[in-house]
Structure 1
């Protein structure tokens, strides 16, 4: 499970810094102990400050979960940065974001921080608490009948800030004055209970478990636990005794009161209730710590140790009770049961290693390999081959040309199995600096992140999951990767056709569509390189024939007449360049014209019409037309057993799935017609082939999972 440990320590990243500042901080030693303890149980843990950047950081660390996946969880240690309601800030943000978290909700923290409200609630439920009064200012009269000595403390502070014993009216006014000046808050005044101080930690929910009571033995000085004591600045050592030397009846009584108090304030997961026990053995509830300290020297941790829970065990027990609260008491039994089947082991492998999957994607995206970049392509190829070697896969030499196409296979081979097809080049020429890799909640951006890198990461992750579960060697699968997608597979298509003919099915890892849609039909495409040459003409010369550029532009208007929605034919000019001498009109025009189609007979007819249209009968003007790429269409099949199997796997694991058609041609059209093939199996994209290209983040794990499940379920 992904766990974000959120705390407040150094950061003051807020829009404006003013108001009541937080004085409570966890030490780095404690934060690291919690982090290390959670990691021991296999959790993926990161730490974050609870400031205004928290939402962005959690979006990056915890993307939206897929059906059946454990969501991320926040281990909340945040006391807030500023404001009287600072305990509530992070829990409120997490509830807005829909992220489960350890500890009580904002409404509980609001009640527990306000000691006066807490005492009123306790009295309403018949729970014992010392008699009290509230003084708004040092001049406020004490009208209640309270007996000295008294305790004074801010009504909504923690960690014993401002706590002191006062023995007469003069000391009372002095204590209230200090609190008023320091905290700008009313003072809670309550009768001092002569006797012993006992803390009871609570762990769990409905009902919470009361830990063994801990007595605080103060030795010399005031018999209260001051701020200086807690911060080791008082010069004395406060001894902790656990279990507290109480009678069985007293122990049972304080435990019962602690649990009832926990319920009255609607606490969750863990808390601590502080008591004073008078000389007759009567307990009084002083306050509720809705965020009990998890410092190694705190009474909560000390009591847990007496039950046999070391620090890592306690931290993971807190996670367990939180998961039980959110997901039910049988959550762990269900997880244990699910892991018994290979399919659910694969599911757990992929969903618990989502961070590694995104790191895999980042690693590929940060390597530039445009189609014309021979060095970058070589780097990607060598890295890919190294990863495939580590997966115990081997080259299939008969289906590699060593220049633009390579095929690797498992120990079982890919004959009569599944062939994965992945481009390693990023189509298009470099026009500026590479687009940096960055993540948002739903989208990941970067150069070629969708057009190439998503397919690489998806296929490798699926194969790695099978390898981790010792399933890969028996799976009949091959991976065909090629480096000329940007050239329309001019050099690799023949090798793909040969390799695909050996497989039972082909999956092309080009970008799909949102909601899990793959592509079952794509248009074919042809590209033509056109050169027009003529005599150079002077600007403004009326009696001479039109120049070659003007002539070509006239023809482009007539090309529109070749388009037919009914016949699914489209003709478009993709690029035009001209050459001229000095101030003369252009004497040469070069252009790239694209033709997309479904029906090959219609494409042939349109090509004939296009050649006729661009043929020049004018003296001195010549036209040259060369077909530079041809990519056949992927045609929809009436009976598609590959799609049916994928649909069944998706439904069984509640993964989104569907089909869509696409105007963009891909390698899928090269697959022989009798071999079932799907395209668009890589994660969905937006702004494809542009500087803002992005990959759908949730579909990265969804596609990897579906591919791994399909490969494992498709063993022959």
Structure 2
């Protein structure tokens, strides 16, 4: 791939709980672009972000923000109004994909397997369990496993959960409760290209303690990445198929990463991928040294710099990311 020399504004930082990750992603992207001869303006997003983008007048914006408001459609809408080309998904897709319940409503009717459960007001947790234990509680619209709690029979939260025990119920007015799915943590990246999006590889994530939470994701040495995952071929293909279908159904652009749980005790050879559930679709995956999309691309012979340029090239192609769901149907495409 050969891109003309561009002026790229890299949006990073912001004020979400994922700010440190975004700063690392953004700096990596900026250095990669500079190494290829592009001019880069780094923007640590503040409330004056529109003014700073207007002053910079970039050819394209690389959106390296994580969490709100950089990943939930807010910044995307602003850039749409400003007429700026930008990487990753558009407004409609971002609004849906950041919200785990909206994502289910969009994908499950098209045959994508996702866990059941429901959104519960936090105060109800102090009266009764919303689901039989074990179950998972997570914020509806946070990423990077921020605010996730696994509630078990022998957990220290109490039964019902105590108001005084540390957990996401102290920070959020409502939480998504889902059945806990035992087994393996898997993830699959999708990357856009001139011939359309393609699924990359499947990685198994094996935290050395606890579960794959924020610290396990972003602390070197706390999680083993098995890439490609040592799982049956039919499960690998099911992950790649679901990730690609979800990417298309939601109208994702650039790159996305789909996270799964697979209950391998349900597996019967030759009978598909029973026990496999999509948990969420991340429309702006991390680009840090420990991030999964660059790792999968590298395993396929694509350098970090090539990956960054591929994402920029897709943004410049001007493909709309606002046609999510309604026009895609339920086929595999």
Question: Shorter-chain-normalised TM-score: which range?
Answer: 0.7 to 0.9
Shift of 1:137: 2.2
Whether the 8 Å CA contact 1:133–1:142 is kept in 2: the answer is: no
> SS of 2:123's equivalent?
coil
Deviations along 1:226-269, one digit per CA (max 9) or x if unpaired, are 12212429xx7210011111222111111000011112221111
Corresponding residue for 1:288?
A: 281
> 1:246-395 maps to which residues of 2 (within 5 A)?
246-279=231-264, 280-281=266-267, 282=274, 283-326=276-319
> SS of 2:41's equivalent?
strand
Deviations along 1:532-591, one digit per CA (max 9) or x if unpaired, are xxxxxxxxxxxxxxxxxxxxxxxxxxxxxxxxxxxxxxxxxxxxxxxxxxxxxxxxxxxx
Shift of 1:86: 6.4
- Measured in 2, the distance between the counterparts of 1:27 and 1:167 equals 32
What is the TM-score with the length of structure 2 in the denominator?
Answer: 0.81
- Measured in 1, the distance between the counterparts of 2:111 and 2:132 equals 22
Corresponding residue for 2:120?
A: 135
Corresponding residue for 2:330?
A: none
- Measured in 2, the distance between the counterparts of 1:24 and 1:197 equals 21
- Measured in 2, the distance between the counterparts of 1:100 and 1:155 equals 28
Matched, 1:7 2:12: yes
Whether the 8 Å CA contact 2:11–2:26 is kept in 1: the answer is: no
Pick from 146, 160, 182: which aligns with 1:194?
182
| 1:249–1:172 Cα change, 3 Å | farther
Corresponding residue for 2:64?
A: 77
Corresponding residue for 2:230?
A: 245
> SS of 2:10's equivalent?
strand
- Measured in 2, the distance between the counterparts of 1:103 and 1:309 equals 19
Shift of 1:143: 8.4
Matched, 1:225 2:219: no
- Measured in 2, the distance between the counterparts of 1:116 and 1:150 equals 16
| 1:81–1:192 Cα change, 3 Å | closer
Question: Which 5+ residue runs of structure 2 have no aligned equivalent?
Answer: 1-5, 268-273, 321-333
Matched, 1:123 2:108: yes
Deviations along 1:133-188, one digit per CA (max 9) or x if unpaired, are 221123257687x44311111112111112121114935624998323213x3111
> SS of 1:170's equivalent?
coil
Corresponding residue for 1:24?
A: 18
- Measured in 1, the distance between the counterparts of 2:22 and 2:243 equals 27
Deviations along 1:680-705, one digit per CA (max 9) or x if unpaired, are xxxxxxxxxxxxxxxxxxxxxxxxxx
Corresponding residue for 1:39?
A: 34
- Measured in 2, the distance between the counterparts of 1:29 and 1:256 equals 30
- Measured in 2, the distance between the counterparts of 1:267 and 1:74 equals 17
- Measured in 2, the distance between the counterparts of 1:112 and 1:201 equals 15
> SS of 1:286's equivalent?
strand
| 1:251–1:120 Cα change, 3 Å | same
Pick from 49, 56, 65: which aligns with 1:61?
56
Deviations along 1:367-398, one digit per CA (max 9) or x if unpaired, are xxxxxxxxxxxxxxxxxxxxxxxxxxxxxxxx
Work out which structure has the larger RCO, using CA pairs closer than 8 Å and 6 or more positions apart in sequence.
2
Pick from 208, 232, 246: which aligns with 2:197?
208
- Measured in 2, the distance between the counterparts of 1:254 and 1:196 equals 12
> SS of 1:138's equivalent?
helix
| 1:149–1:80 Cα change, 3 Å | closer
- Measured in 2, the distance between the counterparts of 1:134 and 1:81 equals 19
- Measured in 2, the distance between the counterparts of 1:120 and 1:80 equals 21
Greater Cα offset, 161-170 or 261-270: 161-170
Whether the 8 Å CA contact 1:2–1:73 is kept in 2: the answer is: yes
Whether the 8 Å CA contact 2:217–2:290 is kept in 1: the answer is: no
RMSD: 2.7
> SS of 1:23's equivalent?
coil
- Measured in 2, the distance between the counterparts of 1:208 and 1:45 equals 26
| 1:171–1:321 Cα change, 3 Å | farther
- Measured in 2, the distance between the counterparts of 1:293 and 1:308 equals 19
- Structure having the higher Rg: 1
> SS of 1:213's equivalent?
strand
| 1:177–1:39 Cα change, 3 Å | closer
Corresponding residue for 1:170?
A: 158
Whether the 8 Å CA contact 1:138–1:173 is kept in 2: the answer is: no
Whether the 8 Å CA contact 1:79–1:87 is kept in 2: the answer is: no
Q: How many aligned residue pairs are there?
A: 300
Whether the 8 Å CA contact 2:28–2:288 is kept in 1: the answer is: no
| 1:143–1:34 Cα change, 3 Å | closer
Shift of 1:106: 2.1
